[in-house]
Amino acid sequence: MGLKSGRKAPFLENPLQRTSFRTSWTVPEGAGGALIHEARIVDINLPNWTVNTITIFDRLRFFDIQVASPYMHANTGEGIYAVPEIGAKCLICVPSDGPPPFVLAYIMPPETLPFTDDEVNNPEQAFALRKGSTYGGGRKRPKPGDIIMQGRDGNFVILHRGGVLQFGSTELAQRICIPLGNLVTDISQNYNHFNTGGSLNWGVVQGSPEENPETEYKHTFRVFANDEFADIRAGFGKIHDPVLEPTGDDGETSDMSQMNIATDAPIVFEFVLAPGGFETNNGTPNDKSRDATKLRVLFDRDGNGMMRAEGSVALRIKKKLKLTVDENIEIVGKKSISMKCEDTMDIVGGKSLNIGTADGVMRLNGGTKPVATVGSFVNVTLPISLQIMTSTGPGTIIAGQVLTGQVTTGNPTIKV
């Protein structure tokens, strides 16, 4: 049986001149030469995943043709694919055996770039490296073996030779994975991480002065993943929304003001436990945080600090503890203060040592009897008889008599 063309294979005519696509065995596979046309994308049909193109030289138009890919499969759309933009330069393939034309690949147009300062100073080297036009097209400068994906707006994925993976959207928003030591390096201007357990916000504070931008790190934690609000917040940098102190004696506003804590210098560290007191995504205190605070620790940029705990605090140290304060130490207990030592306790005052009570009794070594001081009237019982001289002559005060007198002397360095 003869073939439709009336001639023996292989066919030599242009596939575009054929009168029909391959529809039966009478048109054998590969019955002609495939054609490759250089073209540009002029329109895109996103719902159909097709493009319209016009060839550069012959001005041929190919409408609603699909774009080839390194790999695709009809099962759930798996594969590697990209949607082109209008103006992209491409190669159109017209198959030899009847299927519709398709975009085979994309190529860069040639361009001539101005010489850089280094190339102007070394013209021989510049001309040796530049043999004809460049086809860079704004692509990142690669190294042999690199595989690069880059978007028009600067986002990129680079598989470096040697196993290094680099991806990001800008130079200040990228991640680099290095196989040496399994190192992961993040580079960012602002960083947000959201987790079922809380969130992390780190970077330049929006609205801060451009000439001296302020930074802040906030980390929030939920105690239970189903809670709407976070319970714990840790902040570093310049804290812009510190938790407020409760009013009155419940807070430390007065003491902080008297000790110049966080009045002239900004708070640069704050740790707060306030159940349900923080927005989880950004760490902002809500209307509960002030009264719900159970623990707050802060330091300002001058090194002043404050800690307020609504519960008990225990401190256990196995070895030595030394407390050095250049100015005053003040300990206030609203109930009782107890100090115990199993060996020797020394209390030394450089110039004076004042021990007393406001209106109560002071006891030394558990004593129950009052101590007489200079000027006190006391009663003295004579243990033995005492010979005395009176105006009428010698006399005797028998033992056991009680005499009354006033203390006139004592140790002037001890006053009780």
Last residue in a domain, options 294, 309, 324: 309
Amino acid letter, residue 35? L
Number of domains in the chain: 3
Shared-domain flag, residues 168 and 204: no
Last residue in a domain, options 270, 290, 309: 309
Q: What is the span of the domain harbouring residue 297?
A: 195-309
Greatest distance between any 2 Cα atoms in the chain: 176
Report the CATH number that the domain containing residue 25 is assigned in CATH: 2.40.50.230
318 part of a folded domain: no
Shared-domain flag, residues 291 and 267: yes
245 part of a folded domain: yes
Shared-domain flag, residues 172 and 249: no
Long-range contacts of 73-77 (CB under 8 A, 24+ apart): none
Shared-domain flag, residues 157 and 231: no
263 part of a folded domain: yes
3-class SS at 33?
Answer: coil
pLDDT tens digit string along 361-389?
Answer: 888 887 888 777 788 888 888 888 888 88
pLDDT tens digit string along 34-68?
Answer: 899 999 999 999 999 999 999 999 999 999 999 99
Shared-domain flag, residues 146 and 211: no
Contact between residue 232 and residue 273 where contact means Cβ atoms under 8 Å apart: yes
Shared-domain flag, residues 207 and 294: yes
Last residue in a domain, options 125, 155, 188: 188
- Residue linked to tokens 């190529």: 107
Contact between residue 302 and residue 265 where contact means Cβ atoms under 8 Å apart: yes
375 part of a folded domain: no
145 part of a folded domain: yes
19 part of a folded domain: yes
Shared-domain flag, residues 213 and 161: no
- Buried b / exposed e along 79-106 (16+ C-beta atoms within 10 A): eeeeebeeebebbbbbbbeeeebbbbee
Shared-domain flag, residues 201 and 184: no
In this structure, is the dihedral angle defined by the CA atoms of residues 199, 157, 187 and 212, taken in order, positive or negative?
Answer: negative
Bridge partner residues of 105 (DSSP): 91
- What is the chain's pLDDT, residue by residue, as a tens digit (416 residues)? 333 334 444 444 555 555 545 554 444 555 567 899 999 999 999 999 999 999 999 999 999 999 999 999 998 889 998 999 999 999 999 998 778 999 999 999 887 766 666 656 666 666 555 555 678 888 888 899 999 999 989 899 999 999 999 999 999 999 999 999 999 999 999 999 999 999 999 999 988 888 999 999 999 999 999 999 999 999 999 999 999 999 888 999 999 999 999 999 999 999 999 999 999 999 999 999 999 999 999 999 999 999 999 999 999 999 999 999 999 999 988 888 999 999 999 999 888 888 888 878 888 887 888 777 788 888 888 888 888 888 888 888 888 888 888 888 877 676 66
353 part of a folded domain: no
Shared-domain flag, residues 146 and 201: no
315 part of a folded domain: no
**Rg of the chain in Å (alpha carbons):** 46
pTM over 0.85: no
The contacts of residue 16 (CB under 8 Å, 6+ apart) are: 35, 60, 94
Shared-domain flag, residues 162 and 199: no
Phi, psi at 249, each rounded to 5°: -70, -15
Identify the burial level of 218 via C-beta atoms within 10 angstroms of its C-beta, where 0-12 means exposed, 13-18 middle and 19 or more buried: buried
Shared-domain flag, residues 179 and 205: no
Q: How far apart are the first and last CA of the chain?
A: 135
